[in-house]
Structure 1
Amino acid sequence: MFTHTSPSGCTILQLYVDDMIIIGDDYAHIAYTKQHIHRQFAMKDLGFLRYFLGIEVARNRRGILLSRQKYITDILARAELSDTRLAATPVELHLQLRSDDGEPLSDVTRYRALVGGLVYLTTTRPDIAYAVHLVGQFVAAHRTVHYASVLRILRYLRGTLTRSLFLPSTSSLALRAYFDADWASDVTDRKSITGFCVFLGDSLISWHAKKQLVVSRSSTESEYRAMADTTVEIIWLRRLLADLGVASSNPIPLHCDNKSSIHIATNPVFHERTKHIDIDCHITRHQLQARIISLPFVASAARLVDLFIKSLTSQRFATLISKLSLVDPP
């Protein structure tokens, strides 16, 4: 990898690999880069990106659609579902999975292969992130109840085969983030679940659904751990955008629905109730004082991250899907 400067003074990054993708909207410089590489190596121009690593890319003037229709079809074929049933949501309402539920499976490879495929699918399908997080905890020792949950995810995907992640072309380049935590929701070890999503303008570019590493002693503690994880993600994305030439001088809003967490982040005085989350407090507070982030309060009814931390009714699930840049094109 090295860089060189075009005749117009534009510095162009060149990556020499077997499969190379050039990204940008400056077609003059893109053409110059391709010509320069072609003089050095044998190269075939495949045109606009349409298919890459199982991701189907469609574009028009409104933006870009990232679809996984063929990839989902392959997973469904591998599962060999014998019915045609569909599911409105990927997770049954109030579902709680335990390691000793159901009977052990005789075929240990199919479950692992299906869950592995679903994990990769979450890179463009945030609507199944929470469901895949649940079934992924039982890859080492799975049972019939866990496999039934995987089949529900597949039935949901069969009914939403064309659902795509939409990246609008008119979107701004301002980051904003949302986070939440479901306190002590894991019935096995009582750990909480962290969920967050980050938007670049109107484009959803990062999301997360994962069980926290330690047990939180209060809902505020679990919220603050989720806040710290989201803060770290914001810092990384902010630096990445700066490397790409998109610098941000304004604080990045980190929307929070927990007033206690906001109070701890803004209050410099520690006491016995906050000593156990001292490190997470400092991570977030430092970025808050440096004006890297801000902490606007958002009402619970307006939370976008419920999709990543809990099972929902079909109506609530559909409402959140419409706000996460997920569309169902014809």
Structure 2
Amino acid sequence: MEITRSSKGIHLYQRKYTLDMLQESCMLAAKPCSTLMEYNGKLIHSQSGTPLSYLCSYRRLMGKLLYLTHTRQNLFFTVGHLSQFLSKPIDQHLTTSMRMLRYVKGFTSHGIFFPFASSLGIKGYTDSVWATCINTIKYVYGYCFFLGQSLIPWKSKKQQTISRSYAEVEYRAMALASVEA
């Protein structure tokens, strides 16, 4: 982990780790992309794709990406989603992880910034998506809280229950976020 201190604050990032991961994955010369996943792309447990013959490389890549989420919270949901397929990954999962590496390549120095001059107000955000998991028809919710401009806790999770309406999903997500607050 690299730390840079300036007159405005402290920046935590993992540039060297990111470049080493890209080099090991042979993605250092790849063209960067602007999004983590395709907007309409749905990843599922499927028998229609080609199973990966060498599972260790996919699992190793997921571990490296998980470590990168310590300073790159924007990767957390996608890494968590891809990690659901560690037991039987298919070619579509590998393609999505390669797209994720191309995204990371475009932003190698991104990380967490803690400003010195910041108000101590707390702001919270929550969101949910109804029936987003194709395999289980469960909803995914997430929340994040900021102390000033610094992100403190965040969470994205697939719920254990199946909701009957979008309003119920939103209500549950707000209730869970308020408990955390």
Q: Does 1:218 align with 2:165?
A: yes
Counterpart CA distance in 1 for 2:23 and 2:138 is: 35
For residues 240-289 of structure 1, the C-alpha deviation after alignment (integer angstroms, 9 at most, x for no partner) is xxxxxxxxxxxxxxxxxxxxxxxxxxxxxxxxxxxxxxxxxxxxxxxxxx
For residues 150-194 of structure 1, the C-alpha deviation after alignment (integer angstroms, 9 at most, x for no partner) is 001101001111112211111122222100101111111111111
The 5-angstrom pairing of residues 31-180 of structure 1 reads: 55-81=1-27, 83-100=29-46, 101-180=48-127
Partner of 1:319: none
- Counterpart secondary structure, 1:130: helix
Q: Which has the larger radius of gyration?
A: 1
Q: Which ranges of structure 2 fall in alignment gaps of 5 or more residues?
A: none
138 and 224 in structure 1: CA distance in 2 versus 1, 3 angstrom threshold: same
Counterpart amino acid of residue 72 in structure 1: T
CA contact 1:133–1:210 (8 Å) conserved in 2? no
Higher relative contact order (CA 8 A, sep 6+): 2
Counterpart CA distance in 2 for 1:140 and 1:122 is: 21
Query: What is the identity percentage for the equivalent residue pairs of Structure 1 and Structure 2?
Result: 38
Counterpart amino acid of residue 34 in structure 2: A
Shift of 1:82: 7.6
Counterpart amino acid of residue 160 in structure 1: F
CA contact 1:63–1:168 (8 Å) conserved in 2? yes
CA contact 2:4–2:12 (8 Å) conserved in 1? yes
Shift of 1:57: 1.1
Partner of 1:262: none
- Counterpart secondary structure, 1:135: helix
Counterpart amino acid of residue 118 in structure 1: L
For residues 19-42 of structure 1, the C-alpha deviation after alignment (integer angstroms, 9 at most, x for no partner) is xxxxxxxxxxxxxxxxxxxxxxxx
Q: Which ranges of structure 1 fall in alignment gaps of 5 or more residues?
A: 1-54, 235-330
- Counterpart secondary structure, 1:206: strand
CA contact 1:62–1:170 (8 Å) conserved in 2? yes
Pick which of 79-88 and 141-150 moved more: 79-88
Q: Does 1:199 align with 2:146?
A: yes
Between Structure 1 and Structure 2, how many residues are aligned?
Answer: 180
204 and 153 in structure 1: CA distance in 2 versus 1, 3 angstrom threshold: same
Counterpart CA distance in 1 for 2:27 and 2:106 is: 13
60 and 94 in structure 1: CA distance in 2 versus 1, 3 angstrom threshold: same
Partner of 1:242: none
- Counterpart secondary structure, 1:165: strand
- Counterpart secondary structure, 1:181: strand
CA contact 2:28–2:105 (8 Å) conserved in 1? no
Counterpart amino acid of residue 2 in structure 2: E
Pick which of 153-162 and 168-177 moved more: 168-177
Shift of 1:123: 2.0
Counterpart CA distance in 2 for 1:164 and 1:83 is: 22
